[in-house]
Amino acid sequence: MAEGLFWPVLLGLLGAVIGSFIATLVMRWPQGRSVLRGRSRCDGCDAVLRARDLVPLLSAAFAHGRCRRCGAAIDPRHWRIEAIALVIGLAAGLAVPGSIASAGAAFGWLLLALAALDVTEFWLPDALTLTLALAGLVTGALGIEPSLADRLIGGAGGFGALWLIAAAYRIVRGREGLGGGDPKLFGAIGLWLGWRMLPVVLFLAALTGLAIVAIAMVRGRAARLDDRAPFGALLTVAAYPAWLFLLGSAG
């Protein structure tokens, strides 16, 4: 029993810590601020935060989501990203133990960072997408399924498929339909999942997008064809469950 809980607990706790870093990255990087330098400060009173203010999830919970000094509300992105990162690590540890779980958790955490940036900024940084792609190649080279050949085909096929869709939309509609980062992201996902899972990811991403539109319409918001949507974030939401399914089918 204890052995079975080791990896989920370890990766879950690690996920909360990494989630704190991801939240900092998401909030500072678009503003051109250093992610690694500088003390964490309250956005309201600019007071330097102490160690007890920086414990992932717990600090915000005990402070009721507000700064202990000035009472300003803490940006909820902090605890939300930390909580999602915890769940990602927990799910990886429950799916499979050891190095494969660690690799899968890293996959999920990179996807989370990309999703958060796409949702808040409509931005998929090339540096982060390239990191995801290189990590997929490394795990494939280490012998983690799917095979490196399947991953390479997936990388080329994922990028090529969305690039062609974007080009066709541009020709037919006379404007951009996909951001330039979406094909790169789909290619990087292909380098993790292999080519066989890409249609599933694309279908789940589209289905999720339609569900979001349907919910918005039920709430009274009219949908328009030119509405912007973070499609990259939808791809990431679909990709991590696909990785978990891939493990289950392999087992």
Domains in the chain: boundaries: 1-95, 99-251
Which one-letter DSSP state was computed for residue 175?
Answer: S
The pTM of this model reads 0.91
Contact yes or no for 115/232 (Cβ under 8 A): yes
Highest mean pLDDT among 113-127, 164-178, 220-234: 113-127
Pairwise CA distance, residues 207 & 205, whole Å: 5
Residue 225 pLDDT greater than 60, yes or no: no
> What is the pLDDT, as a whole number, of residue 113?
98
The SS3 call for residue 72 is: coil
In Å, how far from its chain's centre is CA 213? 21
Mean pLDDT along residues 44-72: 72
> What is the pLDDT, as a whole number, of residue 74?
80
> What is the pLDDT, as a whole number, of residue 56?
81
